[in-house]
Structure 1
């Protein structure tokens, strides 16, 4: 696999580029990159009673401009999703608590860094990183929380929304985190019924125990 470092080197010094970099520069083949796995520590899952829903790789292609010409990058991202059974109103023992995290490889070309999640707003990230809620009827940012993630203090955006689950509408709180770590972009999303205020701290605990690499 061609690494992101060799891409930068190959773009600057074309004659010394690897075969993969040369094909990418000529536009005859996409560049392939892959992120490092991202998960949540087992101890945090046990403490918060969240369980693994899925942990796999997903391919995302996007286009960058090199010397005025479009070039394609095929990025392998790593996604981990967790969920928890909760009860609210007519919804009993349903997966109403959900937490997802994705790592995407960042690629640097001529001093500009890009990644396949670039341009996605919080609402789109929520849709991408959780599979329990059918849709969100409304979406409003209401504040932020501060957590320590991967060694640094980070800001988590807090939203409120009316969500649909199993045909029922409920008010939910949504927490969204985006950061760069190592050579990857990391985005995380947590969703829980707003009426279950205790779940907020559990979601923040999951953010704090993200593991990358």
Structure 2
């Protein structure tokens, strides 16, 4: 299961530029570029859960924003980490039908004020962003919420019902979504797996709670 490029970036940027009080930044003529550190599960957690680290890549998002009639170009250098797992699905065979993603976008500080999307992005909005950018995935209603401990913070992780297309197969899936600040980074975590393999929820928790700041 793959997440398409820039699955969250544009929506998170909208949360950033929606913050009031940054007119002085917009009037500056120099381009603003901010880079995330990134986050990925530990090797021990990957071994324990049977997931593999598939890829770490940079996800740049560049937009021209307008505030109070002033335009300004902003570039966020995000980091996307994808992990996946092959599962036995009966007559369907063995498919890479489970995924864990950590998407990291930078916050930034200007004139003593810090701007980040964390206070403006709900898990429902994250679900909408992911579903809109990933044609093979549709996300429905929220059905559960639990608490993980990530970067020593308690994080509410919402579970949504969904449908995912993997080649000729369509699966009912659960999508787990949460977010947390890690120093100057805003980290979105997402786990996706077939609903009938609910034990994978425990693996999502292990991966999420092992996240550490890193970049390759």
TM-score range, shorter chain: 0.7 to 0.9
Give the Cα–Cα distance (whole angstroms) in 1 for the partners of residues 110 and 65 of structure 2: 9
- Give the drift of 1:168: 1.4
- Aligned residues of 1:136 and 1:162 also touching (Cα < 8 A): yes
Q: Which runs of 4+ in 1 moved over 6 A?
A: none
Number of residue equivalences: 188
Task: Give the alignment of 1:52-71 within 5 angstroms.
Answer: 52-65=53-66, 68-71=69-72
Distance 2:36 2:55 in 1: 17
Within-5 A mapping of 1:45-124: 45-65=46-66, 68-109=69-110, 111=113, 113-114=115-116, 121-124=126-129
Return the alpha-carbon distance in structure 1 between the equivalents of residues 132 and 42 of structure 2.
23
In 1, Cα distance between equivalents of 2:91 and 2:159: 25
Query: In the alignment, what sits opposite 2:199?
Result: 198
Q: 1:125 aligns to what?
A: 130
Contact 1:44 1:205 in 2 (8 A): yes
Structure 1 length-normalised TM:
0.77
CA gap 1:60/1:138 in 2 versus in 1, 3 angstroms: closer
Q: Aligned partners of 1:59, 1:30: CA distance in 2, in Å?
A: 14
Counterparts in 2 of 1:154 and 1:26: CA distance versus 1, 3 Å:
closer
**Contact conserved, 1:105 with 1:115, CA < 8 A, in 2?**
no
The answer to whether the 8 Å contact 1:51/1:82 transfers is yes
The answer on whether the counterparts of 2:126 and 2:177 sit within 8 Å (CA) in structure 1 is no
- Return 5+ residue gaps in structure 2 as ranges: 1-21
Task: Give the match's secondary structure for 1:90.
Answer: helix
Secondary structure of the structure 2 residue equivalent to 1:201: helix
Contact 1:101 1:186 in 2 (8 A): yes
Structure 1: where are the runs of 5+ without partners? Answer: 1-10, 15-20
Question: Contact 2:131–2:139 (CA<8 Å) still a contact in 1?
Answer: no
Shift of 1:136: 2.5
Does 1 or 2 have the higher relative contact order (CA < 8 Å, sep 6+)?
Answer: 2
Larger radius of gyration: 1
Root-mean-square deviation over aligned CA pairs: 2.7
